[in-house]
């Protein structure tokens, strides 16, 4: 799978796209705080902490491990989204607690779609929502806004 990763794409390409595209531009694939800082220097409007499903970096740190450093580097200047490894509601809760503004869930809905079509996707999303609501209740966080780093264990602080 690593042959699908184009090493010729550089920050120069990002600069060119930013010059040509006047709309909002979000960059996916940020795993390091220095890259997050650079993305902001290039005028990007948001970033996605992602290892593209682990295809290129499956033995390195996971997106959830990279997330706190990237969030800190962004310092609220741009939205930080995260995807990769999100399989249950507790993963969503953890990502929000570590500062993600949004969480992408790719594979579980795809599994639901493959198994049962649209009803399968709806069932997966219902399960994820119930799991998020359940962990929020257990953690004493009545709203998304109340989820903070204090909501997760010492390992993540």
pLDDT tens track for 68-125? 999 999 999 999 999 988 999 999 999 999 999 999 998 999 999 999 999 999 999 9
pTM flag (> 0.85): yes
pLDDT at 1 over 50: no
Q: 2-156 has which fold?
A: TIM Barrel (3.20.20)
Check 18, 32, 38, 52 and give the catalytic one.
52
CB-based contacts of 39: which residues, under 8 Å, 6+ apart? Answer: 14, 27, 30, 47, 78
- Mean predicted lDDT score pLDDT of the chain: 91
For residue 25, give the nearest of 8, 48, 5, 7 by alpha carbon. Answer: 48
Residue 55's pLDDT is: 56
Which DSSP letter does residue 7 get?
Answer: T
More confident residue, 54 or 81: 81
Angle formed by the axes of helices 118-139 and 107-116, to 10°? 140
32 is catalytic: no
Residues present in the chain in total: 157
In the numeric block, the tokens 């500062």 are attached to: 99
Spatial separation of the C-alpha atoms in residues 53 and 62, rounded to whole Å: 10
pLDDT tens track for 8-24? 789 999 999 999 999 99
């Amino acid at each position: 799978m690593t042959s699908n990763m184009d090493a010729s794409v550089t920050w120069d390409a990002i600069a060119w796209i930013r010059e040509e595209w006047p709309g909002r531009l979000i960059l996916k694939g940020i795993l390091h705080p220095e890259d997050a800082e650079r993305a902001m220097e290039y005028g990007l409007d948001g970033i996605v902490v992602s290892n593209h499903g682990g295809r290129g970096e499956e033995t390195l740190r996971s997106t959830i491990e990279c997330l706190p450093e990237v969030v800190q580097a962004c310092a609220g200047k741009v939205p930080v989204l995260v995807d990769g490894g999100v399989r249950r509601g507790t993963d969503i809760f953890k990502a929000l607690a570590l500062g993600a503004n949004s969480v992408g869930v790719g594979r579980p809905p795809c599994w639901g779609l493959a198994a049962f079509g649209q009803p399968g996707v709806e069932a997966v999303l219902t399960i994820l929502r119930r799991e998020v609501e359940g962990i929020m209740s257990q953690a004493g966080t009545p709203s998304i806004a109340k989820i903070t780093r204090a909501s997760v264990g010492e390992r993540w602080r």
